[in-house]
Amino acid sequence: MAHWLRTVRLSIKSVLLHPLRSTLTVLGIFIGVASVIWLLAIGEGIGRAAEEQIASLGATNIIVRTIKPSADEMGDGAYGLTRNDYVRIVATVPTVAKAIPIRILSREFRYRTRAFDGRMVGCTPDYAEVTHLKIDRGRFISDADVEGENNCCVLAAESATHLFPYGEPLGAKVMVDDQFYTVVGVMKSRAPSAGIGGSLAAEDYSKDVYTPITTLWRRNGDMAIVTKPGSFQRDLVEVSQITLQVDDRENVLQTAEIIRNTIELEHEMKDFGITVPLELLQQARITRLMFMLFLGLIAAISLLVGGIGIMNIMLATVTERTYEIGIRRALGAKRRDITRQFLVESTVLSVAGGSLGVLAGLLCRPMSVWIRMLLFHWFPESMEALPEIIRTVEPQMVSWSIPLAFAISVFVGIGFGVYPATRAARLDPIEALRRN
């Protein structure tokens, strides 16, 4: 044990004799280790954020949406999901525990002199639970409102701010298409949901006004007329979306296929789409693992470069210390002693770099927040243009990345130090002494 301690002390002393060279060598390992930890943490943060967005849709949910077909297929302008589709699914698919029909229209909302354009969402009481909406004041739509086709509405937080910047909205009457709706509740602010590939578009809840779907059907009908300069478009849509909750997670994929077949029987056009969050969640997890593996390989290249730097420095050290090696061999040092000496020196360099890299890796989260603040300060427009998941993502430390990165750094130090150490041990003592 004492022999090993003496070897370590000598190795540290040899390393400190050339501080600049040793620092540059340590820097290579430091960058490699820090890169492994940082890239895996960033990959984990992005992956988790994507999974949380999908999970927010509900692992037991199935989302059926109306999709507008091509102009050649539409004919009289009628397309999409119907009330009959909704009734048939509820009546014939036993694994469906809850079904929520939704109709969305773009409308102008008025209160006295104030007005804004937003979404009128016809729904049922379960809509708030499924979309994670929280009540701020008043109440949400009730079963009695749906059954009685009551002329009431609930405002999203920003909708309430637009129409009632100073007054109390509860009890007031909001005008839509020359018809009045009594405000019965105001929701808390909710962040928009991000789009998920081509499966589901991003949805902004900030300018919504919620009303019983039966009231919307009675007052607005199914016809939606869109006028643009030089064009007139008429759409006949009964239901924009049906969100279904399945009784058990194990039944989700099978139920989705049954629903697809049930709707296709009554639809000649491809005017609907089905999104299964559970399916997307499984795909996202596989993608996250592949993404992290890819980032890990990129970071490993940095460690490889650091290892080559150690080998380069150690080979130069062997050349410089040829006379010293010759003296040690002449005094009785064995080849294994010389090998051990140079291996310990390369290991000291890699351990020093690995330790500093781990410390830098632990600072990943606060450093990323600080860097993001600086980027927002210097390039506000460019940062705002980035997707929300990139602007708000926070690195999530992967617990196993720290011991893994440190172990790899030590392995790199030993692996890339073997050849220089072996070369030093094989020097002929007489030839080594002559090179002074």
Higher pLDDT, 307 or 247: 247
Predicted confidence at residue 178, as pLDDT, reads: 85
pLDDT(283) > 70 = no
Predicted confidence at residue 148, as pLDDT, reads: 93
Would you say 397 and 307 are in contact if contact means Cβ atoms under 8 Å apart? no
Predicted confidence at residue 121, as pLDDT, reads: 94
Predicted confidence at residue 353, as pLDDT, reads: 84
pLDDT(7) > 70 = no
In tens, the pLDDT along 351-405 reads: 888 888 888 888 888 887 788 788 777 877 777 776 666 666 777 777 777 888 8
Higher pLDDT, 8 or 26: 26
pLDDT(322) > 70 = no
pLDDT(280) > 70 = no
Average pLDDT, the chain: 79
98-102 average pLDDT score = 91
Higher pLDDT, 48 or 165: 165
pLDDT(50) > 70 = no
Predicted confidence at residue 236, as pLDDT, reads: 80
Predicted confidence at residue 198, as pLDDT, reads: 45
171-177 average pLDDT score = 92
Percent of the chain with pLDDT over 70: 78
Specify the pTM: 0.61
pLDDT(321) > 60 = yes
Predicted confidence at residue 76, as pLDDT, reads: 62
Q: How many CA atoms lie within 13 A of 125 on its CB side?
A: 10
pLDDT(55) > 80 = no
In tens, the pLDDT along 62-88 reads: 889 988 887 666 666 678 888 999 999
Predicted confidence at residue 162, as pLDDT, reads: 92
143-170 average pLDDT score = 92
Residue that has been written with the tokens 């632990």 in this structure: 362
96 bridge partner residues: 246
How far is residue 36's CA from residue 302's CA, in Å, rounded to a whole number? 9
In tens, the pLDDT along 176-204 reads: 988 999 999 999 988 766 555 444 555 77
pLDDT(309) > 80 = no
How far is residue 93's CA from residue 142's CA, in Å, rounded to a whole number? 25
> Where is average pLDDT lowest: 166-170, 365-369, 418-422?
418-422
How far is residue 130's CA from residue 436's CA, in Å, rounded to a whole number? 82
154-165 average pLDDT score = 93
Higher pLDDT, 323 or 236: 236
Predicted confidence at residue 197, as pLDDT, reads: 47
pLDDT(175) > 60 = yes
160-177 average pLDDT score = 91
Percent of the chain with pLDDT over 90: 19
Predicted confidence at residue 399, as pLDDT, reads: 77
pLDDT(296) > 60 = yes
In tens, the pLDDT along 206-246 reads: 889 999 999 999 988 877 665 555 555 677 888 999 988 88
